């Protein structure tokens, strides 16, 4: 599956390479041997020393010679792959390790209120995707990239896992408040990591204090509101109900999956860039 995907490239919308049953070896033969899983720089150097540069050349190499050069386990593994033999199951659906959204702006943003609006939009989208996946996360992260491409990442791990927009907004805002955005923000992102199944948790005294201070953002009442909002969006579209902060400026637009996502997500592990 990996070599087939590599042929078409990682850019969405470029098509899908279909390798039909029985054509696997024909497909593999012209590929560079480095396309096979398990061929790193050292293995590649050894294979080049044997005159092997394509999968087809590796396919013709005797198993005994591969074992002598690479060792028993690794040699047999690559011999099998070159002959299109791979017993590992394909797992199409895996639990995400993190959920995140980012956006590169047409103009740098140095206004705290404008950037907070983007923060709310992204946090709402991340929370919505988390609930759709039936997961919650304990770690909230932000990524800030300035016009000179200096990148800062910040994260905080919460006492309890969260999956609501207001909870993510609150944590992300505290992180953003620690960063001077005066130079102008070119790119901004919000992420949720340290994911686990979304399950009820035992209320603590801290939970009760937060609920008393901000009843609109915590507790069972907000969970009920969130469920109602999700139901409305499922029926009428993502833009049917949005946080009030997104109404500022006369523009209502939900952040959608696929809009410049980063992090392990569906495909990654943690926000990239320099950690300052």
User: Which residue would you say has higher pLDDT here, 264 or 242?
Assistant: 242
Q: How confident is the model at residue 231 (pLDDT cuts 50, 70, 90)?
A: low
What does the pLDDT average to over 75-91?
A: 89
Q: Model's pTM, two decimal places?
A: 0.53
Q: Which residue has the tokens 């919505």?
A: 128
Q: How confident is the model at residue 7 (pLDDT cuts 50, 70, 90)?
A: low
- % of the chain surpassing 70 pLDDT: 64
Instruction: Check residue 26 and give its pLDDT.
Output: 92
Helices and strands counted in the chain (H then E): 10, 4
Q: Is 53 exposed, middle or buried (0-12, 13-18, 19+ CB in 10 A)?
A: middle
- Note the pLDDT tens digit of each residue in 170-199: 999 999 999 999 999 999 999 999 998 764
Whether the CA torsion 90, 163, 269, 102 is positive or negative: it is positive
Distance CA 191, CA 123 (A): 8
Average pLDDT of the chain to the nearest whole number: 77
What does the pLDDT average to over 17-43?
A: 88
Joined tokens for residue 161:
């896992």
Q: How confident is the model at residue 40 (pLDDT cuts 50, 70, 90)?
A: confident
pLDDT for 83 beyond 80: yes
Contact of 198 with 130, CB cutoff 8 Å: yes
Instruction: Check residue 19 and give its pLDDT.
Output: 81
Distance CA 245, CA 120 (A): 7
Q: How confident is the model at residue 247 (pLDDT cuts 50, 70, 90)?
A: low
Q: How confident is the model at residue 64 (pLDDT cuts 50, 70, 90)?
A: very high
Strands 135-146 and 98-109: unpaired
Q: All domains of the chain, ordered by start, with CATH? A: 2-82 (1.10.150.20), 98-250 (3.30.1490.100)
Beta-bridge partners for 14: none
């Amino acid at each position: 599956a990996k070599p087939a995907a590599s042929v078409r490239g990682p850019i969405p919308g470029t098509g899908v390479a279909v390798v039909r049953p029985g054509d696997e070896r024909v497909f593999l033969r012209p590929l560079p041997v480095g396309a096979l899983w398990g061929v790193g720089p050292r293995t590649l150097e050894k294979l080049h020393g044997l005159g092997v540069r394509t999968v087809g050349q590796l396919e013709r190499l005797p198993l005994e010679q591969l074992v002598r050069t690479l060792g028993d386990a690794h040699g047999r593994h690559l011999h099998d792959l070159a002959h299109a033999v791979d017993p590992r199951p394909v797992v199409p659906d895996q639990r995400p390790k993190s959920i995140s959204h980012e956006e590169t702006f047409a103009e740098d943003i140095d206004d705290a209120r404008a950037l907070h609006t983007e923060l709310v939009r992204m946090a709402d989208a991340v929370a919505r995707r988390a609930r759709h996946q039936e997961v919650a996360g304990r770690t909230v992260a932000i990524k800030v990239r300035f016009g000179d491409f200096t990148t800062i990442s910040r994260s905080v791990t919460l006492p309890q896992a969260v999956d609501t927009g207001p909870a993510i907004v609150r944590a992300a805002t505290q992180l953003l408040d620690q960063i001077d955005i005066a130079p102008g923000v070119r790119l901004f992102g919000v992420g949720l990591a340290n994911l686990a199944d979304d399950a009820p948790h035992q209320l603590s005294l801290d939970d009760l204090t937060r609920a008393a201070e901000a009843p609109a953002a915590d507790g069972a009442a907000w969970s009920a509101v969130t469920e109602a909002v999700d139901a409305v969006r499922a029926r009428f579209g993502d833009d049917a109900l949005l946080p009030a902060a997104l109404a500022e400026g006369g523009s209502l637009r939900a952040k959608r999956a696929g809009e410049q996502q980063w992090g392990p997500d569906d495909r990654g592990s943690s926000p990239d860039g320099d950690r300052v």
